[in-house]
């Protein structure tokens, strides 16, 4: 077998593993990623699984996939086409072979290619896809009867077939560990840690893991040590983190830094549920999480907790955001701090629950009746979810406003290597408390220099007052239907939100340029794909800048002037052109839109191609 | 939490919020407001630890008219806000003000769930059997055949019995009172406050503008005693002008008989801890139930049911291994820097 060009491997490498949704592919991906992170490599991951818990075995619709890109330098996405593809059955091969680079390594579980599996995958009676691929010679092929060898490894365990099948993912983990010359002992200790409450599980997993590793040895596979060509030592404290976990940590950090207890109320919805699960497990953190009867109740409970002075948060996805909008409008009106995390998924309606999309942007900005402006932020990468969530809580508490964070299914379930910050390095959070010792009469809608009202919560003596959704008289908060007052209050609420612009960094391109022929403006989870596409285009001689908006409202200062410096503006996004619409409307500029709504993110290759096309097709301003 | 010695003594007068009360003249809401104000100072809370949270409706304007903390929220959702507040601030005395439409139509879902969760709050349900604020449409408690702007040919929806719904959902305190019975209202509010858990008080409330006739039979001094039966723990259910009637259990069914015609063993003695009986009491006004018993049953007034049950917020705090409070730097460091430990 000819080795894959090492130079090509030495920068970035994409591994894609695909099997049935019941085969533990996500767990396998996670463990493999952790092993990669242990070696100090940079990484980006992306899951791809069906919405059904147990989709039909062996079919195209039942596939579950995991992709990881590893690299010696910064990695921003899970990458595009794969260098290594593992397929656990015929359906996985059929659907994923187009994603394997020519010359790449194809690892095949031969037990997933019997008559039945071939038929389920839709191959014709007389077709033998593996033989055909071998004949073509495009790929380096490793075949292993993974199912049988897993059963064999567990031969002395009294286990039903089905239960043995469940350990196949460990065989693959072992095989990959050999292939990439990873530290087997370290892997084993990770498994012991992970299944510490189920020792019998650990011993089985380790047996199969070793079987996979030894298979590699015995078959004399050529090893491609990823760790050995890594030039630097892993950054201290670096770890592999998913967007949803980073979000949970960001909230906790904001609680610690603001001195406010953390309260979360939710109603389960994919792909947001994990955020609630993570916090619910941490009862030693002094955090309260409750599950309510629906999203309206969740946001209601959050509002009640915020009213009482907690850092109050909910996490949901599009359908839940729809249900919450009336209550969010109330929070805008009464001016209470709420953090609403919308982990976007493909819509409308139930849409594609596990697939990412960025189509809630305009709903977040304008989904409520009446003039109800609020800050909208979006993390650019899974690790950025920590900082954006922290900032959302920071803004909510300092400006007494609901804040919407637009994460998405890609950020939520993807991982990157990050170095956690120390608490003291995060900006302090100061809350506009009313001073109960003040001799002045408390007025609930008197404002400080930033336009934020002074906050008194129940239990504070001398400041009993009423708030509500009826229009309030300026300063006193008494109910008022007076036209001039309503206009004034509408303006004051909007000005307060605009004021937030002064607390966020001004607009800056990734490369620092302020002018040029072409700028790509993105927001949210497209960061990695744009970044890698731009790098690629630059390497091929194009002059391209990248600007990524983490603040969708208010937008950073200086944005208009910055955009002015570029001849062509291209906006790629996973919706039908919402940011493009926004920029055109706000800045009266021609913007060229690239959109994709397939429930799959742009790959860097795809995006660089589309950018070139758009740059040619798009009329200059 | 009740403070034995209040540091901030307040009187009924202190509860005047200075806002002009804007209910229609003679609306039953006035009487309810008056009794709530009357009893608040004696409950032992300091003024700043009392919070009224309402939904939307005429009744839900209530918080504006009382000098405590108050939150006029959105239609039907007050119980959810109250839950979030009580869970995070258990020391507060939290009162929900709601109407029949607010609690049982748009807020029906939350009504069920707050009952089964049982946070230690009080819910005052102003039942005028009509939508007051939106000008007289039919409500979930309006009787069949009620003519309203949305039901010009008479309502065909059968009304629900709020207390029966609440008990069905696991309410731990269910009571009924009437805006005309000043003392009874005050006593019922006191009992609601004493109950540890969600206390639901249904108040029959007079909407003079859109449903003037609704409670005619129980308002009219001449017919009132015939149509109301007062519930007192350990006491038999006697009623009528001269207390000459009794509720008698015959073949397991409550029937109205002359007091002397009911054998002692069959006499209905009120036991607010008996959920089976409470469920029947909550159905007394239901025409279908009356038909099945063959008796025209009176309206029970008082505490139908009360049960000790750990309040929601107490259980929640009990499950935490560190008291509710800001996340500590140590916790975060341990989580975010796992390799160090
Ligand atoms: C979401 C929403 N839908 C409709 C309304 C209009 N609305 C206001 S009050 C009300 C009904 C109130 O009836 P009830 O709860 O019985 O209160 P009452 O006025 O009788 O005290 C309705 C439908 C609203 N405010 N919000
Ligand atoms: S409409 Fe009815 S309920 Fe509303 S204030 Fe007037 S009388 Fe009272
Ligand atoms: Mg009503």
Atom number of ligand 1 nearest to Cα B100:
16
Pocket mutation for ligand 2, best pick of B21, B22, B24 (most atoms within 8 Å of C-beta): B24
- Least Cα separation, residue A388 to chain B (angstroms): 16
Mean pLDDT confidence for A558-583 = 98
Cβ of B72 within 8 Å of Cβ of A466? The answer is: yes
Ligand 2 centroid–CA B99 distance in Å is 11
Distance (Å, whole) CA A213 – CA A561: 57
Q: Ligand nearest B23 Cα, by number?
A: 2
Q: Please list the ranges in chain B whose pLDDT falls under 50.
A: 1-6, 340-341
Residue pLDDT, tens place only, B228-243: 999 999 999 999 999 9
Q: Is the dihedral of CA A496, A499, A504, A510 positive or negative?
A: positive
Q: CA separation (Å) from A68 to A172, B177, B224?
A: 15, 66, 77
**B10 and chain A in contact, CB less than 8 A:** no
In Å, the largest CA–CA distance within chain A is 90
Residue B306, strand partner residues: B173
Chain B residues whose CB is inside 8 A of the A265 CB are: 84
User: Is the distance from the beta carbon of residue B266 to the nearest atom of ligand 1 less than 6 Å?
Assistant: no
Q: Of residues A42 and A483, which shows the higher confidence score? A: A483
User: Is the distance from the beta carbon of residue B197 to the nearest atom of ligand 1 less than 6 Å?
Assistant: no
Domain ranges of chain A: 6-218, 240-425, 432-503, 516-617
- pLDDT band (50, 70, 90) for residue A226: low
Contact indicator for B197, B94 with CB cutoff of 8 Å: no
Q: Ligand nearest B210 Cα, by number?
A: 2
- pLDDT band (50, 70, 90) for residue A230: very low
Q: A137 — alpha (psi -120 to 50), left (phi > 0) or beta?
A: left
The answer to whether the bond into A430 is cis (omega within 30° of 0) is: no
pLDDT confidence of residue A563: 97
Query: Does the pLDDT value for residue A552 go beyond 60?
Result: yes
pLDDT confidence of residue A262: 98
Q: Among partner residues B47, B85, B316, which is closest to A308 by beta-carbon distance? A: B85
Mean pLDDT confidence for A94-117 = 94
User: Is the distance from the beta carbon of residue B126 to the nearest atom of ligand 1 less than 6 Å?
Assistant: yes
Distance (Å, whole) CA A279 – CA A291: 12
Measured in whole angstroms, how far is the alpha carbon of residue B13 from the centre of its chain? 25
Ligand 1 centroid–CA B59 distance in Å is 10
- Least Cα separation, residue A303 to chain B (angstroms): 6
Chain B residues whose CB is inside 8 A of the A303 CB are: 73, 80-81, 84
Atom number of ligand 2 nearest to Cα B135:
1
Chain position carrying tokens 């202190």: B14
pTM of the model: 0.93
- Least Cα separation, residue A302 to chain B (angstroms): 6
Cβ of B332 within 8 Å of Cβ of A253? The answer is: yes
Q: Among partner residues A256, A265, A292, which is closest to B327 by beta-carbon distance? A: A256
Q: Which residues of A38-50 are buried (b: 16+ CB within 10 A; e: fewer)?
A: bbbbbbbbbbbbb
Q: CA separation (Å) from A498 to A334, A487, A583?
A: 17, 16, 17
With residue B238 as reference, give the H or E element that holds it.
strand B238-239
Contact indicator for B293, B256 with CB cutoff of 8 Å: no
User: Is the distance from the beta carbon of residue B76 to the nearest atom of ligand 1 less than 6 Å?
Assistant: no
**Residue closest by Cα to atom 8 of ligand 2:** B27
Ligand 3 centroid–CA B56 distance in Å is 10
**Residue closest by Cα to atom 4 of ligand 1:** B75
Mean pLDDT confidence for A159-173 = 92
Residues within 6 Å of ligand 2 by CB: B 23-24, 27, 29, 58, 128, 132, 207-210
pLDDT confidence of residue A294: 98
Instruction: Assign a CATH topology to domain A6-218.
Output: Pyruvate-ferredoxin Oxidoreductase; domain 3 (3.40.920)
Chain A residues whose CB is inside 8 A of the B335 CB are: 249, 252, 282, 285
**B338 and chain A in contact, CB less than 8 A:** yes
pLDDT confidence of residue B119: 98
Residue A2, strand partner residues: none
Span A516-617: which CATH code? Answer: 3.40.50.920
Query: Does the pLDDT value for residue A231 go beyond 50?
Result: no
Tell me whether residue A542 is exposed, middle or buried, using C-beta atoms within 10 angstroms of its C-beta: 0 to 12, 13 to 18, 19 or more. middle
Chain A residues whose CB is inside 8 A of the B331 CB are: 252, 256, 282, 284-286
Q: Ligand nearest A296 Cα, by number?
A: 1
Ligand 3 centroid–CA B74 distance in Å is 15
- State the pairing for strand pair A376-377/A82-87: unpaired
pLDDT confidence of residue A219: 87
Q: Among partner residues A256, A307, A459, which is closest to B49 by beta-carbon distance? A: A459
Kindly compute the dihedral angle of the four CA atoms of residues A360, A364, A370, A372, in this order, to the nearest 10 degrees: -170
Please give the backbone phi and psi of residue A286, each rounded to the nearest 5 degrees, phi first. 75, 30
- What six digits make up the tokens of A343? 């982990």
Q: How many residues does chain B have?
A: 341
pLDDT confidence of residue A10: 45
Sorted by where each starts, the structural domains of chain B and their CATH numbers stand as 1-214+310-341 (3.40.50.970), 230-298 (no CATH)
* A-chain residue closest to B45, CA distance: A459
If contacts are CB pairs under 8 Å, which of residues 236-255 in chain A contact chain B? 237, 239, 249, 252-253, 255
Q: Is the dihedral of CA A267, A270, A272, A275 positive or negative?
A: positive
Nearest-5° angle of CA A348, CA A351, CA A354?
130
Percent of chain A at pLDDT > 90 equals 80
Kindly compute the dihedral angle of the four CA atoms of residues A234, A237, A242, A248, in this order, to the nearest 10 degrees: -170
Nearest to A566 by CA among A586, A587, A596: A587
Cβ of B113 within 8 Å of Cβ of A297? The answer is: yes
Please give the backbone phi and psi of residue A32, each rounded to the nearest 5 degrees, phi first. -65, -40
The reply to whether domains A240-425 and A516-617 share a CATH topology is yes
Measured in whole angstroms, how far is the alpha carbon of residue B15 from the centre of its chain? 22
- What six digits make up the tokens of A212? 């996979």
With residue B200 as reference, give the H or E element that holds it.
strand B199-204
Q: Among partner residues B92, B322, B327, which is closest to A252 by beta-carbon distance? A: B327
Residue pLDDT, tens place only, A281-311: 987 999 999 999 999 999 999 999 999 999 9
3-state helix vs strand vs coil in chain A, percent to 5: 40, 20, 40
- What six digits make up the tokens of A51? 């919405």
| DSSP per-residue codes, B139-189 | -TTSPTT--BTTBTT---SPPP-HHHHHHHTT-SEEEEEETT-HHHHHHHH
Atom number of ligand 2 nearest to Cα B211:
2
Cβ of B87 within 8 Å of Cβ of A290? The answer is: yes
pLDDT confidence of residue A239: 83
If contacts are CB pairs under 8 Å, which of residues 253-282 in chain B contact chain A? none
Residue pLDDT, tens place only, A381-436: 999 999 999 999 999 999 999 999 999 999 999 998 888 999 999 999 999 999 98
**B63 and chain A in contact, CB less than 8 A:** yes
Which site among A304, A338, A393, A441 would you substitute to test the B interface, given the most B Cβ atoms closer than 10 Å to its Cβ?
A: A304
Distance (Å, whole) CA B99 – CA B7: 34
**B137 and chain A in contact, CB less than 8 A:** no
Tell me whether residue B213 is exposed, middle or buried, using C-beta atoms within 10 angstroms of its C-beta: 0 to 12, 13 to 18, 19 or more. exposed
- State the pairing for strand pair A12-20/A63-71: antiparallel
Contact indicator for B127, B159 with CB cutoff of 8 Å: no
SS3 for A298? helix
User: Is the distance from the beta carbon of residue B298 to the nearest atom of ligand 1 less than 6 Å?
Assistant: no
- Least Cα separation, residue A347 to chain B (angstroms): 26
If contacts are CB pairs under 8 Å, which of residues 421-480 in chain A contact chain B? 423, 458-470, 478-479
Residue pLDDT, tens place only, A40-85: 788 999 988 877 776 788 899 889 999 999 988 888 999 999 999 9
pLDDT confidence of residue B341: 35
| DSSP per-residue codes, A233-259 | PPPTT-EEEEHHHHHHHHHHHHHHHHT
pLDDT confidence of residue B323: 97
* B-chain residue closest to A260, CA distance: B326
Span A240-425: which CATH code? Answer: 3.40.50.970
* B-chain residue closest to A466, CA distance: B70
**A261 and chain B in contact, CB less than 8 A:** yes
Cβ of A468 within 8 Å of Cβ of B85? The answer is: no
Ligand 1 centroid–CA B128 distance in Å is 12
Query: Does the pLDDT value for residue A213 go beyond 70?
Result: yes
- State the pairing for strand pair A262-266/A288-291: parallel
pLDDT confidence of residue A234: 62
**B194 and chain A in contact, CB less than 8 A:** no
Atom number of ligand 2 nearest to Cα B205:
3
User: Is the distance from the beta carbon of residue B137 to the nearest atom of ligand 1 less than 6 Å?
Assistant: no
* Sequence-separated contacts (24+) of A1-10 with Cβ below 8 Å: A1/A140, A1/A221, A1/A222, A2/A140, A3/A222, A3/A224, A4/A83, A4/A103, A4/A104, A4/A105, A4/A140, A4/A224, A5/A103, A6/A224, A6/A229, A8/A83, A9/A83, A9/A224, A9/A226, A9/A229, A10/A72, A10/A229
pLDDT confidence of residue A9: 40
**Residue closest by Cα to atom 2 of ligand 1:** B75
Atom number of ligand 1 nearest to Cα B103:
15
Q: Is the dihedral of CA A173, A179, A185, A187 positive or negative?
A: negative
Contact indicator for A297, A323 with CB cutoff of 8 Å: no
């Amino acid at each position: 077998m000819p080795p894959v060009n090492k130079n090509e491997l030495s920068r970035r490498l994409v591994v894609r593993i695909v099997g049935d949704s019941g085969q533990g592919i996500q767990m396998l991906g996670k463990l493999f990623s952790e092993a990669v992170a242990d070696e100090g490599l940079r990484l980006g991951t992306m899951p791809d699984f069906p919405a059904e818990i147990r989709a039909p075995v062996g079919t195209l619709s039942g596939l579950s996939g995991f992709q990881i890109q590893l690299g010696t330098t910064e990695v921003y996405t899970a990458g595009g086409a794969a260098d290594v593809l593992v397929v656990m059955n015929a359906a996985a091969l059929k659907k994923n072979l187009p994603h394997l680079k020519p010359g790449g390594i194809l690892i095949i579980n031969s037990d997933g290619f019997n008559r039945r599996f071939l038929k389920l995958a839709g191959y014709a009676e007389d077709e033998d896809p593996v033989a055909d691929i071998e004949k073509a010679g495009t790929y380096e092929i490793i075949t292993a009867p993974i199912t049988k060898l897993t059963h064999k490894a567990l031969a002395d365990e009294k286990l039903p077939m089905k239960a043995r099948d469940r350990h196949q993912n460990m065989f693959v983990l072992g095989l990959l560990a050999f292939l990439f010359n990873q530290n087997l002992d370290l892997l084993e200790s990770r498994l012991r840690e992970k299944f510490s409450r189920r020792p019998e599980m650990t011993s089985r997993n380790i047996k199969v893991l070793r079987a996979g590793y030894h298979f590699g040895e015995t078959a004399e596979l050529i090893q491609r040590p990823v760790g050995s060509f890594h030039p630097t030592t892993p950054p201290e404290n670096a770890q592999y983190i998913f967007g949803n976990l980073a979000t949970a940590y960001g909230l906790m950090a904001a609680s610690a830094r603001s001195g406010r207890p953390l309260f979360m109320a939710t109603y389960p919805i994919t792909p947001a549920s994990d955020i609630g699960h993570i916090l619910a497990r941490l009862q030693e953190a002094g955090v309260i999480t409750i599950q309510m009867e629906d999203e309206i109740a969740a946001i209601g409970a959050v509002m009640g907790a915020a009213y009482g002075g907690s850092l109050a948060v909910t996490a949901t996805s599009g359908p839940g955001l729809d249900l919450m909008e009336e209550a969010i409008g109330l929070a805008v009106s009464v001016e209470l701090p709420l953090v609403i995390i919308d982990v976007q998924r493909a819509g409308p309606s139930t849409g594609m629950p596990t697939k990412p999309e960025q189509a809630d942007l305009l709903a977040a900005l304008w989904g409520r009746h009446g003039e109800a402006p609020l800050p909208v932020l979006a993390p650019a990468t899974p690790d950025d979810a920590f900082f954006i969530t922290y900032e959302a809580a920071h803004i909510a508490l300092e400006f007494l406003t609901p804040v919407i964070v637009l994460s998405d299914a890609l950020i939520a379930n993807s991982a990157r290597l990050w170095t956690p910050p120390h608490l003291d390095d995060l900006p302090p959070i100061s809350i506009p408390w009313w001073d109960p010792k003040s001799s002045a009469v408390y007025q609930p809608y008197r404002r400080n220099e930033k336009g934020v009202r002074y906050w008194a919560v129940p239990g504070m003596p001398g400041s009993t007052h009423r708030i509500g959704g009826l229009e309030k008289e300026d300063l006193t908060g008494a109910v008022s239907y007076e036209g001039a007052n309503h206009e004034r209050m509408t303006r004051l609420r909007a000005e307060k939100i605009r004021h937030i612009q002064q607390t966020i960094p001004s607009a800056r391109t990734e490369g620092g340029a302020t002018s040029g022929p072409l700028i790509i403006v993105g927001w949210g989870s497209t960061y990695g794909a744009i970044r890698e596409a731009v790098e690629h285009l630059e390497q091929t001689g194009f002059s391209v800048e990248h600007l990524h908006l983490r603040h969708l409202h208010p937008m950073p200062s200086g944005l208009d002037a910055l955009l002015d410096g570029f001849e062509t503006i291209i906006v790629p996004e996973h919706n039908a052109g919402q940011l493009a619409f926004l920029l055109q409307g706000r800045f009266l500029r021609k913007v060229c839109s690239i959109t994709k709504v397939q429930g799959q993110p742009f790959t860097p290759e795809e995006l660089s191609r589309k950018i070139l096309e758009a740059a040619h097709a798009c009329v200059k301003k | 939490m009740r403070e034995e010695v209040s540091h901030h003594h307040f009187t009924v007068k202190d509860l005047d919020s200075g806002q002009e009360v804007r209910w229609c003249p003679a609306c039953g809401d006035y009487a309810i407001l008056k009794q709530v104000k009357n009893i608040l100072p004696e409950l032992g809370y300091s003024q700043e630890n009392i919070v009224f949270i309402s939904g939307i409706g005429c009744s839900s304007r209530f918080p504006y008219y009382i000098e405590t903390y108050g939150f006029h929220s959105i239609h039907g959702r007050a119980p959810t806000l109250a839950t979030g507040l009580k869970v995070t601030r258990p020391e507060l005395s939290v009162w929900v003000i709601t109407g029949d439409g607010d609690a049982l139509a748009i807020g029906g879902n939350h009504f069920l769930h707050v009952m089964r969760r049982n946070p230690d709050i009080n819910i005052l349900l102003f039942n005028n059997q009509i939508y007051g604020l939106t000008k007289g449409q039919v409500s979930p408690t309006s009787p069949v055949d009620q003519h309203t702007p949305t039901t010009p040919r008479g309502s065909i929806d059968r009304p629900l019995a709020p207390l029966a719904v609440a008990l069905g959902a696991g309410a731990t305190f269910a009571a009924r009172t009437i805006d005309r019975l000043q003392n009874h209202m005050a006593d019922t509010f006191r009992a609601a406050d004493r109950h540890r858990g969600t206390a639901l008080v249904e108040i029959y409330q007079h909407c003079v503008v859109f449903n003037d006739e609704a409670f005619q039979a129980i308002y009219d001094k001449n017919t009132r005693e015939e149509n109301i039966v007062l519930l007192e723990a350990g006491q038999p259910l006697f009623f009528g002008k001269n207390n000459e009637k009794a509720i008698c259990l015959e073949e397991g069914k409550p029937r109205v008989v002359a007091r002397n015609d009911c054998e002692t063993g069959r006499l209905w003695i009120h036991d607010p801890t008996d959920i089976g009986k409470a469920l029947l009491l909550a159905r007394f006004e239901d025409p279908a139930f009356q038909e099945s018993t063959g008796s025209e049953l009176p309206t029970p007034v008082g505490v139908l049911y009360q049960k000790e049950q750990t309040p929601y917020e107490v259980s929640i705090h009990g499950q935490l291994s560190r008291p509710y409070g800001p996340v500590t730097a140590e916790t975060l460091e341990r989580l975010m820097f796992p390799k160090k430990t």
